[in-house]
Structure 1
Amino acid sequence: MSIAAAFAVPHPPLIIPAVGRGEEKKIQATIDAYRSVAKKISDIMPHTIIFISPHSIMYSDYIHISPGMKAKGDFGSFGASREKIEVEYDSELIHKIEKKASERNISAGTSGEKDRNLDHGTMVPLHFITEGYQGFKSVRIGISGLSPLEHYNFGVCIRDAVEDLGRKAVIVASGDLSHRLKEDGPYGFMKEGPVFDELATRAFASGDFMKLLDIDEHLCDNAGECGLRSFQIMAGALDGMKLESKLLSYEGPFGVGYAVASFIVNGTDQSRRFGSIYEDNEKRKLEGKKAGEDEFVKLARLSLETYLRTGKHLKMPQGLPPELTARRAGVFVSLKKHGRLRGCIGTIEGVTESIAEEIIRNAVSAGVEDPRFDRVSEKELSEIVYSVDVLGDAEDVDSVSELDEKRYGVIVSKGLRRGLLLPNLEGVNSPLQQIDIALQKGGISKSETYKIQRFEVVRHT
């Protein structure tokens, strides 16, 4: 026995008649597809249904599996408290999944449950499934801020655990697509919204899960999606399996993308080891980046790697070019991992004798002292991408019209409080947004009178 099928489904509470009160008729195609999914599950008669929900317990660095024997919930927060659902958990499978994750060094398990009640990302699919099929056990899993590959590999742990126990199981990956499809939608319109939905629905229709791993992080953030990590776990659970893939429906009349897809397992297919393919591709990309690094970035990398491997700061290397040793300047060192910021520390003005010393100092600080992140571990070093920004002299500005978020960074100051934001950052699309973020970083209120300066940078990547 193993995973017999998987389904990608949305979770709009209004699809429940007691919540929608007629509005659900506007997404009738989604309802019809949901009932088709429920019928397929009833025909399969799985022992266990594994639900993956972005609205379960979520941590930035840990995938949560709901513990215990049972759980229940209702739609009271959506005005339908009489709509109640209760499930029995498959505690043996939960324990096995947790063990498999530990063996793979994936940060996942049953610790840290803050709310035992079922979330709507789990209850909406349960509503349809239990109309025609009952008596099954459940596993409820959340998502995290971990990388796409770690979510995929956690899905592989689910598959392995299911096979070890001889379960007949079905995966239900709950998640809406973009929430930014229409101006009058819940979060307005962003051009990335329809682009994300097109990419996701193509992946569903073709069964090409590499598309789910390769979607750009910046695109995802601007699209306002909530289901991608659920789908990545589902993809991992289907690793190496031959599938019959169908996009059953897609619509978005309320400004949120709702897609329903089915993936029926029809044997094995070794060409569908997408996690291994993705990992190999990422390694090649990183090696290419390293090969193209200039002296500034190479020095930052050498500095952090030396510190983490020896516990000592790098001594100034011999033979560095004059542009690193002949002048002082403020320097910011930024670290990214899998496209996401992993640390960033810098100085507005030079506090050491040279740019080289500034880089050596700030690279270590970015890796171990940025309060927003855990310190970088030695095992992460091969995955880190570095950039070094060398700041030009700051100059006062009298008007926002003198700023350009792509060309200039900004410094806002009030007394000893100062906030800085570098130029040309993803997600920062106007000088006013730049100033707002810099004010927050400096602990300065918008109502205060503050000074604005601009500066240019030379960015080394």
Structure 2
Amino acid sequence: MSIVFAAIAPHGLPVLPELVGEGPDLMAKTRASLVELGRAAKTADPDAFIVITPHGIRAEGQFTLSASAYMEGELSEQTAALMVRAHRPDKGNFVHMRRAVDRELAREIAKFASPHLPLAVLNFATAEGPLSTLPLDWGTIIPLFFMPDRPVVVIQTAPSRPYEEHVRLGQAIRAACDALHRRAALIASCDWAHAHAEDGPYGYHEDAARLDAEVEQNIASGRLEELAAFPSEMIQNARPDGIWQALVLAGAVPKEERHPHVLSYERPTYFGMLCAQLV
């Protein structure tokens, strides 16, 4: 089995211990679950991490795959405060991350995906070497913070594309890992409904709680494909950003290989956060 670890993990910035600011207990439940996922990933000992993010480099109407030599990014306490609409410190802690890219795996995924899917393969500045570096987004940095240091492949989803294409992208990821005999860890970086609070940026809608409850049930039972069944109006009302990444994971990990375990769900601010291990 080439996918030796697979998880759904959130990406709210204050979950990082360095960025909790004035609320050290905020997201503590999720933080503990991410630590547990990190231990499980270390035990699985993958060759590379493949992170599926909603917040990476966007290309209209296309998936994107980063094939630079490196990826690098930084998150600050100020940015974390903005995310939860809290007081912004004048200065504070920050988290910096730089990772090598598994370019062979990235190109193999592109080879399997490109004939069938709209996929942009990205690089920056130079063909190779230290200047060939694309930015790491918070949807990637946050889950990777808790994981062992391994080369990465980062893929951006495309919500304007059909759900079935996201599943096919996952199938291409699996085919590439199989072809290279790569022991890969797959992380679907997902936050869920963003309309849980009147004072949040998207306001409140009762569909947020309903959607998150159904999401948790579907993930706990391993029925990831059913995440594609939410009515479009409910998605618009609840504003999740996890469905697309979870469907990519569904394509990469067949039902018979899923052993779902939901570690936690909480809604510490205006958006829902869930941690689950599938493999």
TM class by smaller structure: 0.7 to 0.9
Shift of 1:210: 2.3
CA contact (8 A) 1:199 1:211 kept: no
Shift of 1:184: 2.6
Secondary structure of residue in 1 paired with 2:260: strand
CA distance in 1, matches of 2:24, 2:170: 32
1:128 equivalenced with 2:139 (yes/no): no
Q: Which amino acid aligns with 2:17?
A: P
CA contact (8 A) 1:48 1:169 kept: yes
CA contact (8 A) 1:74 1:80 kept: no
Residue number among 138, 145, 153 corresponding to 1:139 in the alignment: 153
Residue number among 105, 109, 122 corresponding to 1:97 in the alignment: 109
Listed one character per residue, the Cα deviations across residues 266-285 of structure 1 (whole Å, up to 9, x for unaligned) are xxxxxxxxxxxxxxxxxxxx
Secondary structure of residue in 2 paired with 1:86: strand
Q: Which amino acid aligns with 1:65?
A: L
Listed one character per residue, the Cα deviations across residues 32-82 of structure 1 (whole Å, up to 9, x for unaligned) are 111110000000010011001100012342100012111111114626564
CA contact (8 A) 2:68 2:124 kept: no
CA contact (8 A) 2:51 2:187 kept: yes
Normalising by structure 1, we get a TM-score of 0.54
1:176 equivalenced with 2:188 (yes/no): no
Residue pairs, 1:66-85, within 5 angstroms: 66-76=66-76, 78=79, 82-85=94-97
Secondary structure of residue in 1 paired with 2:262: strand
CA contact (8 A) 1:66 1:113 kept: no
Secondary structure of residue in 2 paired with 1:25: coil
CA contact (8 A) 2:50 2:154 kept: yes
Q: Which amino acid aligns with 1:140?
A: V
CA distance in 1, matches of 2:256, 2:102: 24
CA distance in 1, matches of 2:67, 2:29: 35
Q: Which runs of 5+ in 1 are unaligned?
A: 265-461
Shift of 1:109: 3.2
Shift of 1:229: 0.9
Counterpart of 2:206?
Answer: 191
Residue pairs, 1:217-256, within 5 angstroms: 217-256=232-271
Q: Which amino acid aligns with 2:56?
A: S
Counterpart of 1:64?
Answer: 64
CA distance in 1, matches of 2:136, 2:23: 24
Secondary structure of residue in 2 paired with 1:23: coil
Listed one character per residue, the Cα deviations across residues 141-163 of structure 1 (whole Å, up to 9, x for unaligned) are 00112111001111100000000
CA distance in 1, matches of 2:174, 2:12: 28
Residue number among 121, 139, 144 corresponding to 1:110 in the alignment: 121
Listed one character per residue, the Cα deviations across residues 179-216 of structure 1 (whole Å, up to 9, x for unaligned) are 11122333211111111111211111110112112222
Secondary structure of residue in 1 paired with 2:186: strand
Cα distance 1:190–1:141, how it changes in 2: closer, same or farther (>3 A)? same
Counterpart of 2:36?
Answer: 36
Cα distance 1:111–1:118, how it changes in 2: closer, same or farther (>3 A)? closer
Secondary structure of residue in 2 paired with 1:38: helix
Q: Which has the higher contact order (CA 8 A, sep 6+)?
A: 2
Listed one character per residue, the Cα deviations across residues 263-322 of structure 1 (whole Å, up to 9, x for unaligned) are 01xxxxxxxxxxxxxxxxxxxxxxxxxxxxxxxxxxxxxxxxxxxxxxxxxxxxxxxxxx
Deviates more, 1:214-223 or 1:21-30: 21-30
Shift of 1:111: 4.1
Residue pairs, 1:316-335, within 5 angstroms: none
Listed one character per residue, the Cα deviations across residues 92-148 of structure 1 (whole Å, up to 9, x for unaligned) are 010000010123x1111314879921001101111111xxx22x2110000112111
CA distance in 1, matches of 2:10, 2:107: 27
Q: Which runs of 5+ in 2 are unaligned?
A: 80-90, 126-132
- Across the aligned residues of Structure 1 and Structure 2, the Cα RMSD in angstroms comes to 1.9
- Name the larger-Rg structure: 1
CA distance in 2, matches of 1:173, 1:196: 18
Normalising by structure 2, we get a TM-score of 0.87
Q: Which amino acid aligns with 1:169?
A: A
Q: Provide the aligned length of Structure 1 versus Structure 2.
A: 259
CA distance in 1, matches of 2:157, 2:124: 13
CA contact (8 A) 1:244 1:263 kept: yes
CA distance in 1, matches of 2:122, 2:153: 15
